[in-house]
């Protein structure tokens, strides 16, 4: 870690007071300079360097284009994928500000996001980028849940867990229905990876999951109805995703995020997602 910090300082000229270290990522340690103006990622071990290589390839692809909103701009790379750095995107996560937004502001933000998704989907020169079908996505979500399911036993009774089990086994696959061909997508577009600055301009971060998906993929992580409708209108296809599918995805993300918070002993996050799960999935379940 000391060597990583030395590299960051040498390349940016930043001192300790300007550098924040984030240890929360599963695959990388992140160094944030000046509140996000510059960001460096260091894979935690050799296993995760392949993921680093993929994200670098995506950022190179984005750098060749002009987008209607802000995205990271790659600037530092290494041949062995031991780290990479980019000029970041400033702003607060959409999840932190959404409750304070007016309907008109949501429409403006949703329009920006919808335009961006359309631009992403039009990218064709992605080389041998991997693809993931809807069936594969549904299985992946179920596998993630099953792997850490026992962590939930402290917070839910058996009848509640059975309801969550059924949700992942039945409702998730049923709702994972999209439209048409696989296209290039962000892959993890949600309230955390969408940043809003003081002028309500949008920035999108964290392209580590970008690859080919069903084109409904990037609409699934935003469940606010006003935002989503503005996104779909800007995109230009009212059939891109159903309201039911968006709601199901929101529930699923709540469960997976709660598992993440339990693993990282984030008690505030645990309490938040516990309340959301009980109100959205377990509305009629009694222990």
* pLDDT given for residue 246 in this prediction: 81
- pLDDT band for position 179 (cuts 50, 70, 90): confident
**Band of the pLDDT at 201, cuts 50, 70, 90?**
very high
Report the Cα–Cα distance between both ends of the chain, in Å, rounded. Answer: 47
For each of the domains in the chain, give its residue range(s) and CATH number, in order of start: 2-87 (3.30.200.20), 92-280 (3.90.1200.10)
- pLDDT computed for residue 276 by the predictor: 93
What is the pLDDT, as a whole number, of residue 46?
Answer: 82
- Reference 49, options 29, 19, 21; nearest CA is 29
Is 97 within 8 Å of 199 (Cβ atoms)? no
pLDDT at position 237, please?
A: 87
Tens of pLDDT, residue by residue over 217-244, are 999 889 898 999 999 999 998 888 877 8
Confidence of residue 1 (pLDDT cuts 50, 70, 90): confident
Distance CA 224, CA 245 (A): 13
| 134, pLDDT greater than 90 | no
What does the pLDDT read at residue 47?
80
Reported confidence tier of residue 175, pLDDT bands at 50, 70, 90: confident
Distance (Å, rounded) from C-alpha 166 to C-alpha 175?
A: 13
Give the pLDDT score at 27.
82
CA 173, CA 216: separation in Å to the nearest integer?
A: 14
Q: How far apart are CA 86 and CA 227, in angstroms?
A: 28
Name which of 83, 118, 109 is nearest 197 in CA terms: 109
Mean per-residue pLDDT over the chain, rounded: 92
Q: How many CB atoms lie within 10 A of CB 125?
A: 9
Q: How far apart are CA 273 and CA 256, in angstroms?
A: 9
Question: What DSSP element (H or E) covers 203?
Answer: strand 202-204
pLDDT band per the 50, 70, 90 thresholds, residue 11: very high
70-82 pLDDT per residue, tens: 999 999 999 999 9
Percent of the chain beyond pLDDT 90?
Answer: 71
Indicate the pLDDT class of residue 2, thresholds 50, 70 and 90.
Answer: confident
> Is residue 55 pLDDT above 80, yes or no?
yes
pLDDT score of 23 more than 90: no
């Amino acid at each position: 870690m000391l060597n990583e910090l030395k590299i960051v300082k040498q390349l940016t000229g930043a001192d300790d007071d300007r550098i924040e270290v984030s240890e929360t990522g599963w695959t990388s340690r992140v160094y944030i300079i000046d509140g996000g103006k510059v960001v460096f990622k260091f894979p935690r071990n050799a296993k995760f360097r392949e993921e680093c290589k993929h994200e670098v390839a995506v950022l190179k692809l984005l750098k060749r284009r002009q987008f209607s909103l802000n995205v990271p701009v790659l600037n530092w790379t290494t041949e062995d994928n031991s780290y990479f750095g980019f000029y970041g995107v400033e702003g607060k996560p959409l999840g932190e500000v959404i409750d304070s937004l007016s309907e008109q502001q949501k429409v403006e933000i949703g329009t920006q996001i919808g335009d961006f998704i359309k631009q992403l989907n039009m990218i064709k020169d992605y080389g041998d980028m991997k693809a993931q079908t809807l069936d594969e996505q549904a299985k992946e979500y179920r596998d993630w849940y099953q792997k850490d399911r026992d962590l939930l036993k402290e917070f839910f009774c058996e009848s509640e867990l059975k309801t969550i089990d059924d949700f992942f086994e039945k409702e998730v696959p049923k709702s994972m229905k999209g439209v048409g061909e696989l296209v290039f997508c962000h892959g993890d577009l949600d309230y955390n990876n969408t940043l809003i600055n003081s002028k309500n301009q949008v920035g999108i971060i964290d392209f580590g999951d970008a690859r080919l998906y069903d084109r409904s993929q990037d609409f699934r992580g935003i469940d606010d109805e006003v935002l989503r409708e503005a996104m779909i209108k800007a995109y230009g296809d009212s059939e891109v995703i159903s309201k039911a599918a968006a709601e199901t995805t929101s529930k699923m993300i709540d469960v997976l995020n709660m598992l993440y918070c339990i693993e990282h002993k984030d008690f505030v996050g645990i309490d938040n997602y516990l309340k959301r799960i009980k109100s959205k999935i377990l509305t009629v379940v009694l222990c």
